[in-house]
């Protein structure tokens, strides 16, 4: 499974992509793919065409993921703005559950602080 971290709106730190890579997760950052100026729809289309799961706080991806012809999956991070360290600690705790849900075929995985 490949992941694409959406940082277009600077809602998620680059450190999240680095954390995923350090945990043997194939991951690209939108900047790695020259998609920093792309619209959400363009990022979504790229993800679908290339087998990526989009990780973002951007609710617009929820609507794109809910479409009947949608080809990509979406991990929706719904925790408040805070320190990168707190986000990575939450990811450490919840990552196995996220992977399990995606492997079970869930197209949208919602990550909340109290998940």
Question: How many Å apart are CA 17 and CA 78, to the nearest integer?
Answer: 17
Enclosing domain of residue 95: 2-111
Tokens encoding 61: 């991806």
DSSP secondary structure, 60-96, as one string: HHHHHHTSTT--SEEEEE---S--HHHHHHHHHHHHH
Q: What is the structure's pLDDT at 70?
A: 86
Per-residue pLDDT tens digits for 6-58: 544 457 888 888 899 999 888 888 888 888 888 999 999 999 999 899 999 99
Q: How many domains does the chain have?
A: 1
Least Cα distance to 111 among 43, 25, 86, 22 occurs for: 86
Tokens encoding 39: 């619209």
pTM for the predicted model, two decimal places: 0.89
């Amino acid at each position: 499974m490949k992941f694409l971290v959406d940082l277009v709106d600077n809602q998620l730190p680059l450190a999240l992509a680095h954390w995923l890579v350090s945990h043997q997760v194939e991951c690209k950052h939108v900047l790695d793919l020259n998609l920093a100026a792309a619209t959400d729809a363009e990022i979504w289309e790229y993800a679908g065409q290339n087998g990526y799961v989009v990780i973002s706080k951007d609710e617009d991806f929820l609507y794109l993921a809910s479409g009947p012809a949608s080809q990509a999956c979406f991990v929706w991070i719904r925790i408040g703005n805070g320190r990168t360290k707190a986000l990575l600690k939450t990811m450490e705790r919840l990552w196995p559950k996220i992977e399990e849900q995606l492997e079970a075929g869930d197209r949208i995985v919602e990550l909340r602080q109290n998940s």
